[in-house]
A = this chain, B = another copy of it.
Amino acid sequence: MGERLAEAPAGDSQGDAPDLRKLLEPSSIAVIGASEDTRKVGGEIVANLRSGGYTGRVFPVNPRAARISDYPCFSSVVDIPAAADLAIVAVNAPQVPEVIRQCGEAGIGLAVVLSSGFGETGPSGAALQKDLDQAIAASGVRVVGPNCIGLMNVQRRMFCGFGPGFRNHALASGPVAMVTQSGGYGFSVVGLCNHQNLGFSKIVSTGNECDVSTADIIEHILDDDEIKVVVAYMEGVKDGRRLLEVGEKALACGKPILCWKVGNSNVARAAAASHTANLSAPYELFKLAFSRSGFIEIREIEDLVDVARGFLGGKLPRGRRVAVVTTSGGSGVLMADRCDEAQLTLPPPSAALLKRISGALPPHSAVANPVDLTAQVGDDAGRFNRVVQAFAEDPAYDQVLVRYGAVGSANAPAWAEELASIARRSDKPLLVAWSRAPDRASQALMTLEKNGVPWFVTPGRTVTAAGALGEFAARQQALRATQRELSVSPKRIPLDLPAAAGPLGEHASKRIVAAYGIPTVKGRLFSLEEIEQLKKSPFRFPVVAKVESPDIPHKTEAGAVMIGIRSLRELKEGARRIVASARSHCSDATIHGVLVQETCSGTELILGAFVDPCFGPVVVLGLGGIYAELLKDVTRRFAPVTEAVARDMILELKAAPIFKGYRRMPALDIDALALATSRLSHLIADHADRISEIDINPLFVGPTGNGVQAADALVVLKAAH
């Protein structure tokens, strides 16, 4: 018991990574709320453990029974002679917090709560979930669930849950794990994947995730040598930044997380809230997290099966260059389209390669990439494979996609044997479009399977896999580069921020962004009296005057801005007028004075940053002006970012050509913009505890060498604690 306590320390452990080593490999399981009635959840679980063939010890807990499913029964979890590795809790919701406390007393470190009636059911359930949180904190027991359907380890014959998914003990096993927030749908996915030749070995349903999260479980499973691919079915997460970290770990260790993210539309987000109580960040931020890490998004069973099978081939490409070899021009055309969509390129064969393969080509074949060997090579496996081998050996290609038309012919087994041998000798992915109804009795298919050559039902689905492999490899390279650069991150700059929450005035806001090295337009804050007494303008005309007030964040709407001021008289009159206008717009606004500043020019951008409750600090860059706003040409990254990443952001704007000198306009100062973007990202990341939002709008970008200037800025604070 001492040993167990060391693994799952008591006290307020929420927020720490839980120790999940016993979750999927427990040597003993206590089922609290066990029943002899298999129509009840607690009955079905014990029956499934028994009939599924679980070889560990099972301790049913029920005060009203002596034996259940032929296991001796205990009246309370504290009566069990040895602390179980894992508790399964299937009592009514109101009893759950007390049961968790008892698990703590009994030295059980880990519990899976199946009971529903918590956060997913509205206010009364949410209150109960709070009680459960307290029980978890007090007991030190780490909890998966509530409102989940259980977990499974197919190889260990541990069918530990309820519902149709757990009654299918004939499930084929494979090196794939699944973490699913939706129990019912998740297990239906497992069944459908099995039907398409993809086996899972470890599956956990996580329900409301009041304690242990999807990210926790994925992180644990990434360390599992038996698992090569993780699938996550996800409606929402509470800690997006942790999800991103786990995704980066996946990328680093070369195991993809195939992520089926639902609950993205408004109506679906509402449905998800009442399903597993998982309120969620905007889908854009999930997509951003996925695109920087080891998450590959999927959206149908076929995607899941194909991408997983691609990765199970065990080879990653070095780049995005693909060769396509077919005996059917039609499927070549189709694959070319799909490659284009998947950002895979199809370089034409070099003269040397053409020379090498020319002997194998039939008269009418198109010698290009895709190469169409036509039906004339239909039955000539040797000739076909010679061409495949030539492409596989050519350093100009990173993957080879193959469709051989005669997979049903008498010479198909020989074709498959030879192809497998080409694949064995190559370190590149070699993917086969089978293109027939997969007949498990086919000798050729079994040869590919046995040799770990990934095959796919259609040409399009083959490219889905190739695209995912190419994308994963490219992200690995990008992550390595970014990590090298961020290791020399600039120092945190202390800021003198007022304690209260709310927006700051423009002048105060600009001082903050200036403190992080972002150039701001020259300006000075005056009182109305000071302006009245000015003998000359502080800056060259024309100047701009703006009322400085934290209570008027939208100055133009309040008539609190005057531009194009050309004389001292205009300035004095204008200052009086905008202050009067600001007062009539908002009578109790605190007015700190009038900001007088230089007029500046350049291309207008919007540079912003905010702290998302789920994903943390984010930096946003977009073109200014109404069209850019309407056409939503913006790009986002999690902060902080290096200048190199900021440059990527600039160049991924749809309007990026204007930075390079579009038409007869001058090229813009990309270096200065990248620097400002990186600095703003550090500002929000360093001060995410106090700053909730920063908007620099407009940020003027001048021609190359002329830098950027923040013409207006707004910083919104959170209250100091």
List A residues at the B interface (Cβ < 8 Å): 116-117, 120-121, 149, 163-164, 180-186, 188, 191-192, 194-195, 233, 235, 262-268, 270-272, 274-276, 299-302, 327-334, 336-337, 339-341, 346, 363-364, 366, 368-370, 372, 374-375, 378, 405-406, 408-409, 435-437, 457-461, 623, 625-628, 630-633, 654-655, 657-658, 662-663, 665
Q: Which of B268, B332, B341 contacts A275 (CB 8 A)?
A: B332
Query: Knowing that A116-B364, A264-B337, A276-B330 are A-B contacts, what are 20 other residue pairs whose CB atoms are under 8 Å apart, sorted by A's residue number?
Result: A116-B374, A121-B364, A163-B405, A164-B409, A182-B330, A184-B327, A185-B330, A186-B330, A188-B328, A195-B437, A233-B330, A263-B337, A265-B341, A267-B339, A267-B346, A272-B329, A300-B302, A626-B663, A627-B631, A631-B633
State whether A366 touches B274 (Cβ < 8 A): yes
- In angstroms, Cα B346 to Cα A266, docked, is 11
- In angstroms, Cα B437 to Cα A433, docked, is 22
Q: How far is the CB of A330 from chain B (nearest CB, A)?
A: 2
State whether B460 touches A299 (Cβ < 8 A): yes
Residues of B within 8 A of A265 (CB): 336-337, 339-341
Residue of B nearest to A458 (CB): B301
Q: How far is the CB of A658 from chain B (nearest CB, A)?
A: 7
Q: Report 27 cross-chain contacts, Cβ distance below 8 Å, ordered by A residue.
A: A116-B374, A117-B364, A149-B375, A182-B331, A182-B333, A184-B329, A184-B330, A184-B331, A185-B334, A185-B459, A188-B436, A192-B435, A192-B457, A264-B340, A265-B337, A267-B346, A271-B329, A271-B336, A274-B329, A274-B366, A276-B330, A301-B458, A626-B658, A626-B662, A627-B633, A630-B657, A630-B662
Residues of B within 8 A of A623 (CB): 627
Q: How far is the CB of A548 from chain B (nearest CB, A)?
A: 23
- In angstroms, Cα B655 to Cα A459, docked, is 38
In the complex where A268-B337, A275-B372, A460-B299 touch, is A435 in contact with B188 (Cβ < 8 A)? yes
Residues of B within 8 A of A655 (CB): 627, 630-631
- In angstroms, Cα B186 to Cα A260, docked, is 31
State whether A275 touches B364 (Cβ < 8 A): no
State whether B191 touches A437 (Cβ < 8 A): yes
- In angstroms, Cα B331 to Cα A181, docked, is 11
Interface pairs A-B: 9 shortest CB-CB: A182-B330, A185-B330, A275-B329, A265-B340, A268-B336, A195-B437, A184-B328, A274-B366, A268-B337
State whether A329 touches B276 (Cβ < 8 A): yes
- In angstroms, Cα B366 to Cα A460, docked, is 38
Residues of B within 8 A of A275 (CB): 329-330, 332-333, 366, 372
- In angstroms, Cα B630 to Cα A341, docked, is 20
State whether B336 touches A300 (Cβ < 8 A): no
Which of A117, A183, A262 has the most chain B CB within a 10 Å cutoff? Answer: A262
Q: Which of B346, B406, B631 contacts A164 (CB 8 A)?
A: B406
In the complex where A270-B368, A329-B184 touch, is A628 in contact with B626 (Cβ < 8 A)? no
State whether A274 touches B372 (Cβ < 8 A): yes
Which of A182, A194, A275, A658 has the most chain B CB within a 10 Å cutoff? Answer: A275
- In angstroms, Cα B340 to Cα A435, docked, is 32
In the complex where A116-B364, A437-B191 touch, is A372 in contact with B457 (Cβ < 8 A)? no
Residue of B nearest to A266 (CB): B340
Q: How far is the CB of A295 from chain B (nearest CB, A)?
A: 17
Q: Which of B181, B185, B627 contacts A625 (CB 8 A)?
A: B627
- In angstroms, Cα B191 to Cα A527, docked, is 82
Residues of B within 8 A of A302 (CB): 300, 302
Residues of B within 8 A of A235 (CB): 330, 333
Residue of B nearest to A370 (CB): B271
- In angstroms, Cα B378 to Cα A524, docked, is 70
Which of A149, A181, A328, A633 has the most chain B CB within a 10 Å cutoff? Answer: A328
- In angstroms, Cα B163 to Cα A409, docked, is 11
Residues of B within 8 A of A163 (CB): 375, 378, 405
In the complex where A116-B364, A458-B300 touch, is A185 in contact with B328 (Cβ < 8 A)? yes
- In angstroms, Cα B262 to Cα A436, docked, is 19
Q: How far is the CB of A203 from chain B (nearest CB, A)?
A: 14
Residues of B within 8 A of A366 (CB): 271, 274-275
Q: How far is the CB of A543 from chain B (nearest CB, A)?
A: 23
State whether B183 touches A330 (Cβ < 8 A): yes
Residues of B within 8 A of A329 (CB): 182, 184, 271-272, 274-276
Q: How far is the CB of A103 from chain B (nearest CB, A)?
A: 24
- In angstroms, Cα B147 to Cα A364, docked, is 11
State whether B191 touches A267 (Cβ < 8 A): no
- In angstroms, Cα B626 to Cα A181, docked, is 46
State whether A164 touches B405 (Cβ < 8 A): yes
Residue of B nearest to A656 (CB): B630
Residue of B nearest to A184 (CB): B328
Q: How far is the CB of A570 from chain B (nearest CB, A)?
A: 23
Residues of B within 8 A of A369 (CB): 267
State whether A192 touches B437 (Cβ < 8 A): yes
Q: How far is the CB of A363 from chain B (nearest CB, A)?
A: 8
Q: How far is the CB of A671 from chain B (nearest CB, A)?
A: 21
In the complex where A182-B328, A458-B300 touch, is A272 in contact with B333 (Cβ < 8 A)? yes
- In angstroms, Cα B409 to Cα A660, docked, is 64
Residue of B nearest to A371 (CB): B271
- In angstroms, Cα B341 to Cα A188, docked, is 23
- In angstroms, Cα B305 to Cα A667, docked, is 51
Which of A328, A333, A626, A663 has the most chain B CB within a 10 Å cutoff? Answer: A333
Q: How far is the CB of A193 from chain B (nearest CB, A)?
A: 10
- In angstroms, Cα B191 to Cα A136, docked, is 56
- In angstroms, Cα B302 to Cα A437, docked, is 13
Q: How far is the CB of A265 from chain B (nearest CB, A)?
A: 3
- In angstroms, Cα B162 to Cα A378, docked, is 12
Q: How far is the CB of A26 from chain B (nearest CB, A)?
A: 25
- In angstroms, Cα B346 to Cα A270, docked, is 12
State whether A267 touches B328 (Cβ < 8 A): no
Residue of B nearest to A433 (CB): B188
- In angstroms, Cα B270 to Cα A372, docked, is 12
State whether B368 touches A262 (Cβ < 8 A): no
Q: Which of B116, B271, B327 contacts A333 (CB 8 A)?
A: B271
Q: How far is the CB of A166 from chain B (nearest CB, A)?
A: 12
State whether A334 touches B262 (Cβ < 8 A): yes
Residues of B within 8 A of A194 (CB): 437
